[in-house]
Structure 1
Amino acid sequence: MSDYDFSSLNDKEFEDLSADLLTCYFGSRVERFKVGRDGGVDGRFFSSEGDEVIIQCKHWIKSGIAALIRSIEKTEADKVRKLNPKRYVFVTSLELSRDNKIKIKSLLSPYILSESDVFGSEDLNDILSNNIKVERKHYKLWISSTNVLQTILNSAIIGRSKHKLEEIIEESCRYVVTQSHTQAIEKLENIHSVIITGSPGVGKTSLADQLCQYYTAKGFEFCFIENSLNEAEDIYNDESKQVFYFDDFLGRNFLLALNSHQDSHVINFIKRIERDKKKRFVLTSRSNILNQGKRLSDLFDIKKVDRNEYELSISSLTDIDKAKILYNHIWFGDLNEEYIDQIYEEKRYLQIIKHKNFNPRLISFITDQHRLSNINSNQYWEYIDKTLSNPKDIWKNVFEIQVDDICKHIVIAVSLHGQSLSEKELTSLYGEILSSNLSLTSRKDYESVIKLLVGALLNRSVLDKEKISYDLFNPSIADFVISNYLTDFNYIDQLLLCLKTPQSIYNLNSLMTSGVIEQQYFCNILESQLLSLSKSHKANEIDSYKLRILASASSRLSPQDDVIEYIQCLVKSALISGPCSYGYDYFEFINWSLSLGYINSADSAFQKQLNSWVYEYEKDMDEFIPISNLVSTVELSPASLTAKLKEEYLEYLSDGITSDVIEEGILNDEYEKYTNDYPQLEDYISERFSELGISFEQADVDYVKDCCDIDDIIQSNINSAMYEDDGYDQYRDQGYSMESSTDAIDDLFER
């Protein structure tokens, strides 16, 4: 049996549901009238005798039964007497006892013929249990059902996926199903992947969230990808229905994604998902970031990913869609009544809805009571008007009035970092700021600072007791920081020293590549950071932050004398410490130092290390490349290091060649084994070899090719093609409003 409390619906949605349920119950179509001042009529039907039966709905979930009874006594009873119907049916979302029904019938006598014409939540749930189609038609109702929510929460494959699902569920009530939602599902049904793009604040993440919630409700396992597609591939299961979600997949730090081959990785994963009918893949990216990625990588064009791309634009929202978004934020929000009155006064809601800068993020911002602590109700409309007119400054009031210096420094540092910070990293940042020369108007303890920031400027994610992370409350905060603080070189330089994360250098590199900052600015930051680090307590110790700076400097910095001396000291430390867990950046630094002459290739210590890197160090793909460049630069005959490195890489590539070919779709059209040469496989292996700085022969290509299990690839292709989808037609046919008239909006907001 259904067990809804109907709290996921607003009052107008509840009226629509009631009409559909009573149509089923009475076996006669219930007519609905436009929303607005109804005079006590939310619907009607005609009895077999031809008498008009009036229906009134009351969604008083927030007020309770006592308030409902008082309202009937004071207003509803008079309305019914004026209507003087032959029969009157009363519907409420509240639970009703037998005494409650008797009381309501007596107050509305003689128009309510029997207590069975008073419908409470239990009655509506009974009808729903026998009418599954009605339940499925009302998306927000169905998606919030106890059974569906349990299915959704149990679908998470890993801990952070469950945390993400809980966040999605919490925001579902404010969601408005629009044409974009329906079209995105159709695209997912046809080609299994969709990239949702658009400007900041347009609603990309909300749409993606609900698409994933929809599929998890349909029995798909849910995987939320936080950093890279390796997370998805680790739990990819050929036998299971799975939906993968990569929000902001190029991210604020899109260059890092491209440098780590995230672009090709994503495209290959899209191609793999397209062949697997049991999988769905939802991605989001801001339009400008995706366009920058396209300019820096041909793969988006070469592999024709545009046909997977669904551009989410604010222009696709009708005025009535915008009205519903605003209405839901008011209905399900925490705005005090006097603030709501300001929106209703002189139909100001129309100015909001029709404003050229309308977007869902701004609506969420201006209707958040938490952000209005310094704004009284008489100032509220002025605040709304200013926010809509200058959306880039929505965080200005928060930064300048609501938080102090230390909070501001932390948020700007998180923006510079470009992704979430762990609890340990944030605690370290807090301590560094306190001991720095940055201005501080107060010295709050760490817990007080976090309490002030979380929910206002930062989100706190608890994966388990040992894994807590913090990220920006909204990506637009980073946009505000970049526009307002990045020009202050000395401030940014000093804050980076407090932060000291490799990701912050990646992020600045991205901003430089996209033209937000000049190359000279970036080079000056790198040089200034090295100078400051050279004077620090642990100046000559190698760490990941120094190596990221040095790796970034290697391609664009001509070091000055005072920096040269420090780099030479770090080279010595690096050769002593070895690569440890530093990987690619470490070997890039060694390559740069060798090219600058800071390392003598004949030096016995270097030769010993190089020999160790080739013979003993366990390498991944990214490390094979710089190590091979080192070997090709310094080795003279006999080429023992080259031979050993070739042997290792052949083993590395051949071990994973079958899974690599499946993941990248190299032979995705093969369903039967033929005696052919598979030239595309040979080309792929040759391309992999060409990435290294040493040479390979045709015999090496043939060796890896022979290690590829064609039978496994064919079986994978067959398995991916076997699954057939069903059960979506009913949802796909669900209508959405294209209405945009001012009258319809006025009706919606009519109290």
Structure 2
Amino acid sequence: MDSFELGRLTDHDFEEVCRDLFTELLGVPLEIFPRGRDRGIDLRHAPEGGPCTIVQCKHWYRSGRAKLLAHLTDVEVRKVAALKPDRYVLATTVELTVDAKEKLRTTFAPHIRSTEDIHGVDDIVAALRERPQLVERHFRLWLSGTAALGALLHKGPLLRSDWLRRELAKVAQTFVPHEGFERARRLLDEQHVCIVTGIPGAGKTTVARMLAAWRMGHGWEVHEISQDVDEVTELWRDGVPQLFLYDDFLGQTTLLPQFGKNEDVRLLSVMRAIRDAPDKALVMTTRHYLLEEARRKHDRLASDDVRDALTGIRLTDLDLLTRGRILYNHVHRSALRPLQKRQFAARDAWLPVVSHRNFSPRLIEETLRIDLKREPDVATAMVANLDNPRRIWERIVENELTEEAVQLLEIVFTYGSVGLVELEETWTWYRRESEREADGRRFRHALQVLDGTMLVIDEGVVSFHNPSIADYIRFHLNAGRGQLGALLASCGDMQQVVRLVDAGRLADGGGIITQLM
């Protein structure tokens, strides 16, 4: 029987779940109130001239029963006495004993009618088990279920990539479902194939990963495609529900290095096979402008097969409420100190962020991940990064990293992704061409500094943590901040040269072409 780890929900998540749950349990519609203005009211039913019911939600799973009881007795009982509701219902993520419930009933009498109006975590989980449709309406609640969570955290064999398994679990902690996600999920259900497009940072990769998590939680295998679409046919198993995740299937900055000979034909063939298979699904992502470029170069990608599978993640999908929840979730799960987190409760701190024209979930995440120890005012740093998205990487790359680490990033840019052995060999040649010292100790130190922040190492393959870093390194090289001649001389693979040339052909890549000539 499924259970739920309610501790994985934020306070707001828990209140929304309780609103829907207690609307059913009590048989009355409940209002929900913003934090900080509730006067002790989280949920309320107060018809004009009728009896008033208040539901209080206490998400105190980390604090424990003793602290919760002390708080309720010392603080909340006075608030309830002042409000004088006809009925007071308590819901908490803390485990409550029979004695604890009886004590609370006595303390809050006459507003708590009986211990049936006191719901500890076990009572709430039991009620949720009986309401699977309610659970599925709350995506983050569903993700906290033992079936979904077990798939994300423990069923490594269902995933080709350990790193992807960790990423799915991490992204699930902060993900906020929105219209773009629901649109993609409907399309995947109907077509079995979904191509998610969008501008950098809009959240298309997050949507793709959550589609994968959704299917995993329902017993599907998830396979990450890392090279080309031929991997799908190699991994295909008849009679086994499988989802194939092909992130950035047209590459991150240019088409040619990623799209191999006749791959357009093979891609369409795989898409058609999956569309006809009830137990197969394919999710792909790409940047919108790369897809348009691919359509011009490959007529087959302008076909109905591609058009019918296409959906986009637009900034308009992220309304102010969704943006606020994204910010709240990231701050809630961040390593900020409690005092720093409370700063975001102030309207002057959060409103400039969620209303910013350049609002990006990626920049929110990166600011909290990178700037925690460097910025005394994280909210101000967040707005500055939204004003100038290049700022977050520029300061780190140009001012804080060693030359060895920067050159390592430049080499990864020429590859896209590369094995550790090949990376070290190329880095050594680059250092020698630059007339710099090169040894294994320096290489390992540079890699250690970058691993987990700007680079990802997965099964011996090194790649950028996210595409925005590749975008910045392209700007860095275009501005003449690297040693492009030495970098070119160190290239041992023609595809590295092709990547550099194609980067120079982009609208903002003239500086690269000039240096290569």
TM-score computed with the length of structure 2 as normaliser: 0.89
Q: CA deviation at 1:299?
A: 1.5
Corresponding residue SS for 1:176: coil
The answer to whether the Cα contact below 8 Å between 2:408 and 2:446 also exists between their aligned partners in 1 is: no
Q: Distance in 2 between matches of 1:520 and 1:407?
A: 21
- Which residue does 2:471 correspond to in 1? 479
Aligned pairs for 1:28-47 (under 5 A) are 28-36=27-35, 37-44=37-44
The answer to whether the Cα contact below 8 Å between 2:485 and 2:516 also exists between their aligned partners in 1 is: no
Q: Tell me, yes or no, if structure 1 residue 411 matches structure 2 residue 409.
A: yes
Q: Distance in 2 between matches of 1:69 and 1:400?
A: 53
Q: CA deviation at 1:187?
A: 1.4
- Which residue does 1:138 correspond to in 2? 138
Q: 1:310 to 1:486 in 2, by over 3 A?
A: same
Q: Distance in 1 between matches of 2:64 and 2:413?
A: 44
One-letter code aligned to 2:452: G
In the TM superposition, what whole-angstrom CA distance separates every residue of 1:216-255 from its partner, at most 9, and x where no partner exists? 2223222210111111111223433221110000113520
Q: Tell me, yes or no, if structure 1 residue 236 matches structure 2 residue 265.
A: no
Q: 1:259 to 1:203 in 2, by over 3 A?
A: same
Q: Tell me, yes or no, if structure 1 residue 456 matches structure 2 residue 453.
A: yes
TM-score computed with the length of structure 1 as normaliser: 0.63
Q: Higher mean Cα deviation, 438-447 or 109-118?
A: 438-447
Corresponding residue SS for 2:195: strand
Q: 1:203 to 1:57 in 2, by over 3 A?
A: same
Q: 1:63 to 1:490 in 2, by over 3 A?
A: closer
Q: CA deviation at 1:442?
A: 12
The answer to whether the Cα contact below 8 Å between 1:405 and 1:440 also exists between their aligned partners in 2 is: no
| Number of residue-to-residue matches in the alignment | 513
Q: Distance in 2 between matches of 1:111 and 1:436?
A: 79
- Which residue does 2:118 correspond to in 1? 118
- Which residue does 1:353 correspond to in 2? 354
Q: 1:353 to 1:375 in 2, by over 3 A?
A: same
Aligned pairs for 1:378-457 (under 5 A) are 380-418=378-416, 420-429=417-426, 431-432=428-429, 435=432, 437=434, 445-457=442-454
Q: CA deviation at 1:18?
A: 1.7
- Which residue does 1:211 correspond to in 2? 211
Q: CA deviation at 1:339?
A: 3.1
One-letter code aligned to 1:264: V
The answer to whether the Cα contact below 8 Å between 1:165 and 1:213 also exists between their aligned partners in 2 is: no
Q: Tell me, yes or no, if structure 1 residue 470 matches structure 2 residue 462.
A: yes
Q: Distance in 1 between matches of 2:391 and 2:45?
A: 52
Q: Distance in 1 between matches of 2:373 and 2:440?
A: 22
One-letter code aligned to 1:147: A
Unpaired runs of at least 5, structure 2: none
Q: CA deviation at 1:425?
A: 2.9
Aligned pairs for 1:270-669 (under 5 A) are 270-302=271-303, 305-368=306-369, 370-377=370-377, 380-418=378-416, 420-429=417-426, 431-432=428-429, 435=432, 437=434, 445-461=442-458, 467-488=459-480, 491-498=483-490, 500-512=492-504, 514=506, 517=509, 521=513, 524=516
One-letter code aligned to 1:192: H
Q: 1:374 to 1:263 in 2, by over 3 A?
A: same
The answer to whether the Cα contact below 8 Å between 1:202 and 1:361 also exists between their aligned partners in 2 is: yes
One-letter code aligned to 1:459: V
Q: Distance in 2 between matches of 1:4 and 1:496?
A: 54
Q: CA deviation at 1:23?
A: 3.7
Q: Distance in 1 between matches of 2:308 and 2:114?
A: 59
Percent identical? 26
One-letter code aligned to 1:256: P
What is the aligned-residue RMSD (CA, Å)?
A: 3.1
Q: 1:70 to 1:245 in 2, by over 3 A?
A: same
In the TM superposition, what whole-angstrom CA distance separates every residue of 1:277-309 from its partner, at most 9, and x where no partner exists? 332111100112212212222121245522321
The answer to whether the Cα contact below 8 Å between 2:143 and 2:217 also exists between their aligned partners in 1 is: yes
In the TM superposition, what whole-angstrom CA distance separates every residue of 1:178-198 from its partner, at most 9, and x where no partner exists? 111111122122222111111
One-letter code aligned to 2:455: L
Q: CA deviation at 1:403?
A: 2.0
The answer to whether the Cα contact below 8 Å between 2:232 and 2:270 also exists between their aligned partners in 1 is: no
Q: CA deviation at 1:64?
A: 3.7
In the TM superposition, what whole-angstrom CA distance separates every residue of 1:593-648 from its partner, at most 9, and x where no partner exists? xxxxxxxxxxxxxxxxxxxxxxxxxxxxxxxxxxxxxxxxxxxxxxxxxxxxxxxx
The answer to whether the Cα contact below 8 Å between 2:271 and 2:305 also exists between their aligned partners in 1 is: no
Higher relative contact order (CA 8 A, sep 6+): 1
The answer to whether the Cα contact below 8 Å between 2:5 and 2:144 also exists between their aligned partners in 1 is: no
Corresponding residue SS for 1:356: coil
- Which residue does 1:95 correspond to in 2? 95
Q: 1:442 to 1:330 in 2, by over 3 A?
A: farther
One-letter code aligned to 2:147: N
Corresponding residue SS for 2:366: helix
Q: Distance in 2 between matches of 1:200 and 1:481?
A: 15
Q: CA deviation at 1:412?
A: 2.0
Aligned pairs for 1:176-215 (under 5 A) are 176-215=176-215
One-letter code aligned to 2:119: F
In the TM superposition, what whole-angstrom CA distance separates every residue of 1:406-463 from its partner, at most 9, and x where no partner exists? 1111122212222x222323443454455553568999644443332122211232xx
The answer to whether the Cα contact below 8 Å between 1:157 and 1:223 also exists between their aligned partners in 2 is: no
In the TM superposition, what whole-angstrom CA distance separates every residue of 1:557-600 from its partner, at most 9, and x where no partner exists? xxxxxxxxxxxxxxxxxxxxxxxxxxxxxxxxxxxxxxxxxxxx
Q: CA deviation at 1:497?
A: 4.3
Q: Distance in 1 between matches of 2:15 and 2:22?
A: 11
One-letter code aligned to 1:449: A
Q: 1:302 to 1:106 in 2, by over 3 A?
A: closer
Corresponding residue SS for 1:276: coil
Q: 1:94 to 1:215 in 2, by over 3 A?
A: same
Corresponding residue SS for 2:194: strand
The answer to whether the Cα contact below 8 Å between 2:208 and 2:285 also exists between their aligned partners in 1 is: yes
One-letter code aligned to 1:292: E
Q: Distance in 2 between matches of 1:126 and 1:408?
A: 53
The answer to whether the Cα contact below 8 Å between 1:160 and 1:224 also exists between their aligned partners in 2 is: yes
One-letter code aligned to 1:417: Y
One-letter code aligned to 1:31: L
The answer to whether the Cα contact below 8 Å between 1:41 and 1:56 also exists between their aligned partners in 2 is: yes
Q: Distance in 2 between matches of 1:442 and 1:106?
A: 73
Q: Distance in 1 between matches of 2:347 and 2:34?
A: 19
In the TM superposition, what whole-angstrom CA distance separates every residue of 1:40-82 from its partner, at most 9, and x where no partner exists? 22224599xx753321101123444444344324431221111
Q: CA deviation at 1:92?
A: 0.9
Select the structure of larger CA radius of gyration: 1
In the TM superposition, what whole-angstrom CA distance separates every residue of 1:642-686 from its partner, at most 9, and x where no partner exists? xxxxxxxxxxxxxxxxxxxxxxxxxxxxxxxxxxxxxxxxxxxxx
Corresponding residue SS for 1:471: strand
- Which residue does 1:620 correspond to in 2? none
Aligned pairs for 1:686-701 (under 5 A) are none
Q: Distance in 1 between matches of 2:142 and 2:327?
A: 22
The answer to whether the Cα contact below 8 Å between 2:248 and 2:287 also exists between their aligned partners in 1 is: yes
The answer to whether the Cα contact below 8 Å between 2:504 and 2:512 also exists between their aligned partners in 1 is: no
Q: Distance in 1 between matches of 2:422 and 2:98?
A: 59
Unpaired runs of at least 5, structure 1: 462-466, 526-751
One-letter code aligned to 1:111: H
Q: Distance in 1 between matches of 2:510 and 2:20?
A: 60
Q: CA deviation at 1:524?
A: 4.5
